[in-house]
Structure 1
Amino acid sequence: MSTEIKAPVFPESVAEGTVATWHKKPGEACERDELIVDIETDKVVLEVVAPADGVIDEIVKDEGDTVESGEVIGKFKEGAAGTASADKSDAKSSGDEAKADAPKAEEGGKSSGGEAILSPAARKLAEENDVDPNAIKGTGKDGRVTKEDVQKHISSGGESAPAPAPSAAAPTAAPAADLAPGERPEKRVPMTRLRASIAKRLVNAQQDAAMLTTFNEVNMKPVMELRKQYKESFEKRHGVKLGFMSFFAKAATEALKRFPAVNASIDGNDMVYHGYQDIGVAVSTDRGLVVPVVRDVDGLGLADIEKKIIEYGTKARDGKLGIEEMTGGTFTITNGGIFGSLISTPILNPPQTAILGMHKIQERPMAVNGQVEILPMMYLALSYDHRMIDGKEAVQFLVAIKEMIEDPARILLDV
């Protein structure tokens, strides 16, 4: 029985998506609930799984195609036996014999029969341009030839070439030798929908807001000593390591309560003051920067915050974040220090009116009571929307965070 494979129903804020990756090809066996295709939107990557045991009967939307909510992207044949699974079982039963006869049969994106393994989009592009897939070296998973590989082959002036004889040794790849004299290698990759959305939002933030940044520096020695003293007991009790982000999240929460304008947002001509603190934590992924939101930070302990940050970080890198986990947020913290950044000017995350930038901890000579001491210092940056926040409030907000980090007891005592 053939059934339709449909794109997931997108949330109201998402208009359309793009077919990112087909994990199965037509005729390949699928098990129930096995991942078959990823749909990338401008916010998250949505997964589509097999509705039952069977095979992919037809792919309607290739990789890179735009799809709307609930649109048919392929067809699935329930209960059918997949030829790919049969091939795998045959290969498995032949075992060492196959390896002995063709020790490099799977290299360079070639199947055991000497044929290249292509993604659906790559196969379509190769057919349209009359390109022999066997002449292309695959860079995808298990040596699969991707659409990008075909595009690169075409742009480099590659011509169709017969597949090498099984007994012939594969020559060493030398891409530079294929270039014309004076030509330099380039790689053109389409911007993902998520990265395009990020770019648009960041540009809009700079155009729409009166953005300004104020800086300060904080002595990290007290927090570092506190972590060192309670590191083992904290991890033993809570099952999570004590990091710096939780201290800054709690300090920011206390400062937000004292300076409500920093925790507000602008909606048209209205200023919306939030009576809660939902703090977004910027996470860098291969697909781009995402900002999952830790809700009601005021009611969370340091361990709860650390657990949430780890959970969101893992989900973000695996592409598993839900849209509801990235919506809202009244304030954002970003930590460029993990990449070595010493100082930066973070860009606002609209409609929020402020964002805190943490940076690398670096030992510097500091004057303390007339004496020079070497202290672990961190630069802090607060970017804010001057339409909503006055300079005085922004500076006092950042000073409040500095004071709480340099004397963590202030967070508990609310002083």
Structure 2
Amino acid sequence: MKLYNTLTRDFTNYGETKKVNIYACGPTVYNYIHIGNARAIITVDLLVSFLQFQEIEVTYIQNYTDIDDKIILKAAAVKKTEQEIAEFYIQAFEEDVTNLNIKTPTHRVRVTNHISDIVTFIQNLVKTGDAYEINGSTYFNIAKYQEYYGRLANKKLVELEVNARIKHDANKHSQYDFALWKNTATGVSFPYYDANGQKYQGRPGWHTECAVLIDKLFDHQTIDIHAGGIDLVFPHHENERIQFFAKNKGQEISKIWMHNGHLNVANEKMSKSLDNTILVRDFIKLYGSNTLRYLLYATNYTQPLNVTNSLIMAAQNETAKILKILKAINLFLAEYDLTYNLANRGEYVKKALAQLENNLNSPNVLTIISEMIKIINIQLRNKTLDMQLVSDFYNIIFNIMNFNFQLPIISGEIREYLLEWIKYKNNKDFVKADELRKVLLEKDIF
């Protein structure tokens, strides 16, 4: 499989392997997630589904940033503790991703459970001269890595602009140095001992947590794939990369950096000031989770996506077609007492996998799904449904693309109603046929 690699600005093939390690930046838990966040989550979910379908072992770790200035500000605004805010939005996040049918990562890790690992990591960087301490805060020493810093963002040091999240700090040797540990008593703080044994209270900088978690949880080894939104490339991922690089003596943190493109709404970036942020839970209530998946799949994950009402309606119409054909297959299988075998994988599964092997080309898989629907419709009309085609369709919809269409279970009793309805309909006894049809409609069979 090849994926576009931000670091090399080319496609990278991770090779023939039966095990893949993935890390994805998780949410800062101070608010509900929006559909831009969902794009990153669903992209990795598709990757994981694709790999696991081929029986590749996946170790997938996602973090919760549960200590952050935004959490502290939110807690103060609503008069709650940071822990209460973090816990509330972690639960909300897990509800949202469950409703999106996201596969549960191997581990979801809270940063606050790894403070001692972060402190040790930072202290080691100080010992090697890769970081320095001033007044209880610690900063990474970019000057030592000018040759390597900026490679992920594809910029030289002099070209890089300081992100708004990195505020001016008179303690820093250079404007490009960034905080690994912040000396502060505002909000929840933890003890930190500097090289002289002096104790300070503070908390880790945002860019350090992921570098530490990867270093710790993947045993200091380069992982296969690091995923996240394109907005994280600089400074977050650039700073994360250089810390791991320094700590592990020139070793890259990831072979492949996989970034999904920006998501806008009606040509505008989502923001509170424009009042155009679409929360995942609100989108699901209005249109359903499958519509969001289809909408995101219709554009390759690397490309920018501009969400409009027309695109949402188109995705909703397409998912309605999929559900309709799934129900029709369901009825046909029940009527003729037929079964399918998902272990049998035919040409359409192979076609879908081939497209996903090419940088997760999900739009082409949706084209394959449309082709299959046309063929299945013809077969249903001719009463000659191919069970291999059914197996492939079910595998692609549910086990590869990981849609979550809820199909009614046709029990023995409901099947009797169905067979009676067909009998009366064929005999043109439309009064009794309509009565049975009402019963079947109530049970959402059609």
TM range (shorter): under 0.3
Between Structure 1 and Structure 2, which shows a larger proportion of helix residues?
2
**TM-score, normalization by structure 1:** 0.23
Greater CA radius of gyration, 1 or 2?
1
| Higher relative contact order (Cα pairs below 8 Å, separated by 6+ residues) | 2
More strand per residue = 1
